[in-house]
């Protein structure tokens, strides 16, 4: 009986596992192999060169600059996005007038959720073009607002100044993804049992204390997932930087990231094997980040 059931399950898994192996695992294996060759992408010839491509990465100044910028994105984007998402979600769910024995939603909470979610309805290319207009030096919205409030001394060419180009892109990355995490954290907060919140309120806990000691531990699984997703996004950043920045990746490499260097080496310089070595490096960085995030942010699960 058991043997027949196992054969049936095995027969049902053959096709999906085969497709997964061909279309997912096989390209990874091929990429790992090509990173050890001198393949230039225009012929079938690929000579084995060992770890030469990886050794060249250590002497590539642009690679290290891209790695540094990805590190800045990794340090800033997930932390600010999660902090703002939790803050806004907490305001929407518990920011209303306090009722007997609990907390109330803020007025118009659903409307504000739709407003914060709106940027996700736009494609990355539209977001990039819109913010290019915002940052335009002569007649852009940002410099216009600064001029209108008497802060014209702060006006500058935001995307053409090496000191402000990367922060300008970071603002767009946070703005474009914030709505999703507000909705994610709001849904997690709404699943917190009301009797737990009422018990905290009856014990005299204020809104801030209730958030830190009750709500945040109960929604920590969602925060953990958000940190992983945002970390992976911070190690990418290709589309926005390709659209918004001069060069792209400029000025003077101020917004260069690994994905952009990979694309340029492959499709502009025809160094596919070197680009593949970058891709393999990025793959291991992403895997390491995901494992570290789950490991460091792991907490004991709270059962209710």
At 110-139, the pLDDT tens digits run 777 778 888 888 888 999 999 999 998 888
Given a cut of 90, whether residue 198 has pLDDT beyond it is no
pLDDT of 250: 78
Burial (Cβ within 10 Å: 0-12, 13-18, ≥19) of residue 24: exposed
Instruction: List the end-to-end C-alpha distance of the chain, in Å, as a whole number.
Output: 39
CA angle 272, 73, 211 (to 5 degrees): 140
Per-residue pLDDT of 207-234, as tens digits, reads: 788 888 888 888 888 998 899 889 888 8
Establish if 21 belongs to a structural domain. no
Task: Please report where in the chains the tokens 């958030």 appear, as a residue.
Answer: 211
Is residue 149 domain-resident?
A: yes
Q: Are 274 and 53 in contact (CB under 8 A)?
A: yes
**Distance (Å, whole) CA 40 – CA 265:** 10
Structure tokens at 256: 């260069």
- Digit-coded pLDDT (tens) for 151-172: 888 888 899 989 999 999 999 9
What is the distance, to the nearest Å, from the Cα of residue 145 to the centroid of all Cα atoms in its chain?
29
Q: What is the mean pLDDT of the chain?
A: 85
pLDDT(304) > 70:
no
Query: At residue 150, does pLDDT exceed 70?
Result: yes
Domain assignment present for 139: yes
Q: Is 258 inside any structural domain?
A: yes
Give me the domain span that covers residue 188. 52-297
Which DSSP state fits 152?
G
35 falls within a domain: no
Which pLDDT score, from 0 to 100, does residue 73 have? 93
Q: Residue 129 sits in a domain of what CATH number?
A: 1.10.3720.10
The rounded distance, in Å, linking the Cα atoms of 280 and 113 is 38
Residue 204 lies in a domain: yes
For the cut 70, the answer to whether the pLDDT of residue 302 exceeds it is: no
CA separation for the pair 272, 297 (Å, rounded):
37
């Amino acid at each position: 009986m058991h043997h027949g059931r196992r054969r049936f399950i095995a027969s049902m898994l053959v096709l999906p596992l085969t497709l997964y192996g061909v279309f997912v695992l096989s390209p990874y294996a091929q990429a790992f192999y090509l990173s050890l060759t001198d393949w230039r992408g225009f012929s079938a010839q690929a000579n084995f060169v060992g770890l030469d491509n990886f050794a060249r990465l250590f002497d590539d100044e642009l690679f290290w600059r891209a790695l540094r910028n990805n590190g800045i994105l990794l340090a800033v984007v997930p932390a600010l996005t999660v902090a703002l998402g939790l803050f806004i979600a907490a305001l929407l769910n518990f920011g209303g007038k306090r009722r007997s024995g609990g907390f109330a939603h803020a007025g118009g909470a659903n409307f504000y959720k739709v407003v914060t979610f709106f940027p996700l309805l736009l494609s990355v290319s539209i977001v990039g073009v819109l913010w290019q207009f915002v940052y335009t030096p002569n007649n852009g919205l940002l410099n216009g607002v600064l001029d209108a409030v008497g802060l014209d001394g702060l006006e500058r060419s935001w995307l053409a100044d090496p000191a402000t180009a990367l922060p300008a892109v970071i603002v767009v990355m946070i703005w474009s993804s914030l709505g999703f995490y507000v909705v994610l954290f709001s849904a997690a907060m709404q699943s917190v049992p009301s009797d737990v919140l009422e018990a905290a309120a009856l014990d005299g806990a204020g809104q801030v204390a209730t958030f830190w000691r009750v709500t945040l531990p109960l929604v920590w699984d969602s925060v953990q997932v958000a940190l992983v997703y945002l970390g992976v996004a911070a190690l990418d950043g290709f589309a926005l930087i390709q659209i918004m920045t001069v060069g792209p990746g400029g000025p003077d490499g101020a917004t260069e990231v690994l994905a952009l260097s990979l694309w340029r080496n492959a499709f502009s310089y025809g160094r596919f094997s070197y680009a593949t070595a970058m891709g393999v490096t990025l793959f291991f960085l992403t895997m390491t980040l995901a494992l570290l995030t789950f490991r460091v942010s792991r907490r004991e699960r709270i059962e209710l």
